[in-house]
Amino acid sequence: MGANRKKPFRGSAPKVMVEPPLFIRLCQSFVDNLGIILKTAFVFGCIFLVQDLLTGLAETRQAPPRSTQILEPDRLPDPVIDEEPAEEELPKESFLSDGVQHALNCTFTDYRNAHYDECVDEPSDVYRLPPADPNDRGYLERNAAILFASAVIAEQPRDL
């Protein structure tokens, strides 16, 4: 008697959509129509371009060759001479303050190497200490770090 019983359905079936929603169909048709319009415009543009090129090419073949005429000027213009101002006209006082002038000078390599201690705050990763000249007797090299050894006395094992 139990073998003839039908098994009941378990769970629910997913929703089946027969066709996509109206908004999706509207967007697809818009994109398809826009593609057709753009392809047609591209073909017409190519036709007009070829027509203009052929017309322009025919006009250049029919035109007589141009002869260029070089005109000689009646007189040459006067040359402009840039006169440097005399030293008396230049301002004698600098408009930069002393600190700004010193900072500006420190940007130049020669000045910075000559006045390294004044220009560079130690330690600097950007500006390295300039190397000593071979004739520089007063140059002192930086001392290497001195490491001191320490003696640790180990405890002697105890007799048990």
24 against 138, higher pLDDT: 24
> Does residue 110 carry a pLDDT above 80?
yes
**Interval 11-66: pLDDT, tens:** 777 777 788 889 999 999 999 999 999 999 999 999 999 999 999 888 888 877 77
* Res 155: pLDDT: 67
Of the listed ranges 32-36, 87-91, 106-110, the one predicted with least confidence: 87-91
Q: Which helix (H) or strand (E) holds 22?
A: helix 22-62
Query: Averaged over 110-135, what is the pLDDT?
Result: 79
* Res 25: pLDDT: 94
- What token pair was written down for 11? 């769970």
Query: Averaged over 132-137, what is the pLDDT?
Result: 64
CA–CA distances in Å: residue 21 to residues 16, 26, 32? 12, 9, 17
| Confidence band, pLDDT 50/70/90 cuts, at residue 99 | confident
Three-class DSSP category at 86 = coil
Listed in sequence order, the residues at least 6 apart from 53 whose beta carbon sits closer than 8 Å to its beta carbon are none
* Res 95: pLDDT: 75
CA–CA distances in Å: residue 18 to residues 14, 15, 22, 24, 32? 13, 10, 12, 13, 22
